[in-house]
C-alpha cells in the first residue's frame, strides 16, 4: 500500500492507495505532520511506501522520522517523468505542476491537455499530444484576490468566498464578490478559448481546492477532479517503479 502526500501552500493532503484503489484520504496542517502520519501508519499497517510532493522542504525532517518504518520518496527534478520537459527553466518548475502533468500524460497520452489547478494560486499547464510539456501560466487564486484587495487598499473589507448575487454588484461587498469570482471565471474561460483555438483533440482537467466551486460556473466542458494531484502522485509512483 502507498501513502501519497501533497504539501501545498496552505495545507497538506494525503491519501492511502492499494494500487489504483483509494482507501482513505486526509487533510491536515504542517504542525500535525508527525502525529497524523503516525496515526495513518498505525491504522494502515500494510503501507510500505510514502511518496511526497512538496512546494517546499520544510517538512522533510518530519517525514524522514518514519524512514525506518517505510520507504520514503520525495519527488524531485531528478526523477524520470513520462513527458518531455520543454520549459525554458526546467529546474524552477514546481514539483506539484510536474506531478499534475504526469497524471494528465498517463491518463490522456495522445491528446492535447491543459491542467488547471485552482488553489492558493491558479496554475495552467499545457502538455501536447506528443507528451511534450511547454509551460503555462500562474495567477492569484480566489482567496489571494480577496486578500490583496483588502491588504493593498485602505478601505476595502476582507471578504470570504461567496457566490455573487448579480453580475453587477450593487454594494461594495457585492462588487468585490463579482470582481473576484467572475474575474477568475472569465480568466479561465479565456485561457481555455486561446488554447482551443490553437489545438485540436483537446482535454481540460480542472483540479485544486476550488475546482468544485468553479466547475459548474465555467462555460467549457472540463474533466473536474479536486483530488487529481493525489491520484497523479499514485500514478507517478507506479510509473517510477516500472522505469527506475
Q: How confident is residue 220, by pLDDT bands cut at 50, 70 and 90?
A: confident
Give whole-number Cα distances, 215 to 27, 189, 209, 225, in Å: 22, 11, 11, 9
Q: What is the pLDDT of residue 58?
A: 59
pLDDT in tens, 158-182: 999 999 989 999 999 999 999 999 9
Helix (H, G, I), strand (E, B) or coil at 32: helix
Q: What is the pLDDT of residue 5?
A: 94
The residue with greater pLDDT, 138 or 226, is 138
Catalytic residue (choose from 96, 117, 125, 210):
96
Instruction: Say what percent of the chain tops pLDDT 70.
Output: 98
User: Has 128 been annotated as catalytic?
Assistant: no
Q: Which domains does the chain have, with CATH numbers?
A: 2-74 (3.30.420.40), 84-233 (3.30.420.40)
pLDDT at residue 141 is higher than 90 = yes
Residue 26 main-chain phi, psi, to 5 deg: -145, 155
Q: What is the pLDDT of residues 186-211, one digit of tens each?
A: 999 999 999 999 998 899 999 999 99
| Mean pLDDT of the residues in the chain | 93
Task: Give the C-alpha separation, 3 to 10, whole Å.
Answer: 20
Between residues 235 and 11, the one the model is more confident about = 235
Q: Would you say 218 and 188 are in contact if contact means Cβ atoms under 8 Å apart? A: yes
DSSP code, position 186: H
pLDDT of residue 222: 82
In the predicted structure, residue 59 carries a pLDDT above the cut 80 = no
Cβ contact 8:120 at 8 Å: yes
pLDDT, position 208: 92
Q: What distance, in Å, lies between the first and last C-alpha atoms of the chain?
A: 19
Which pLDDT score is estimated for 33?
87
Judge contact between 72 and 50, C-beta under 8 A: yes
Q: What confidence tier does 56 reach under pLDDT thresholds 50, 70, 90? A: low
pLDDT at 49: 95
**Alpha-carbon span 105 to 101, nearest angstrom:** 6
Nearest to 235 by CA among 122, 90, 225: 225
Q: Is residue 57 pLDDT above 80, yes or no? A: no
Amino acid at each position: 500500500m502507498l501513502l501519497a502526500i501533497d504539501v501545498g501552500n496552505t495545507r497538506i493532503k494525503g491519501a492511502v492507495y492499494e494500487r489504483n484503489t483509494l482507501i482513505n484520504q486526509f487533510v491536515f496542517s504542517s504542525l500535525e505532520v508527525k502525529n497524523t502520519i503516525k496515526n495513518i501508519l498505525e491504522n494502515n499497517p500494510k503501507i510500505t511506501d510514502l511518496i511526497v510532493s512538496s512546494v517546499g522542504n520544510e517538512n522533510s525532517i518530519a517525514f524522514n522520522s518514519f524512514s525506518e518504518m517505510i520507504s520514503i520518496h520525495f519527488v524531485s527534478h531528478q526523477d524520470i517523468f513520462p513527458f518531455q520537459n520543454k520549459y525554458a527553466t526546467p529546474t524552477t518548475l514546481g514539483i506539484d505542476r510536474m506531478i499534475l502533468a504526469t497524471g494528465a500524460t498517463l491518463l490522456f497520452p495522445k491528446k492535447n491537455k491543459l491542467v488547471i489547478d485552482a488553489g492558493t494560486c491558479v496554475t495552467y499547464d499545457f502538455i501536447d499530444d506528443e507528451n511534450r510539456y511547454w509551460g503555462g501560466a500562474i495567477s492569484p487564486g480566489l482567496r489571494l484576490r480577496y486578500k490583496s484587495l483588502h491588504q493593498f487598499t485602505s478601505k476595502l473589507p476582507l471578504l470570504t468566498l461567496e457566490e455573487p448575487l448579480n453580475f453587477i454588484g450593487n454594494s461594495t461587498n457585492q462588487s468585490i464578490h463579482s470582481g473576484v469570482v467572475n474575474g477568475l471565471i472569465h480568466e479561465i474561460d479565456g485561457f481555455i478559448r486561446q488554447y482551443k483555438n490553437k489545438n485540436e483533440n483537446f482535454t481540460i482537467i480542472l483540479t485544486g481546492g476550488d475546482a468544485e466551486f468553479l466547475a459548474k460556473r465555467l462555460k467549457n466542458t472540463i474533466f473536474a477532479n479536486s483530488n487529481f494531484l493525489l491520484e497523479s502522485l499514485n500514478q507517478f509512483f507506479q510509473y517510477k517503479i516500472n522505469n527506475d
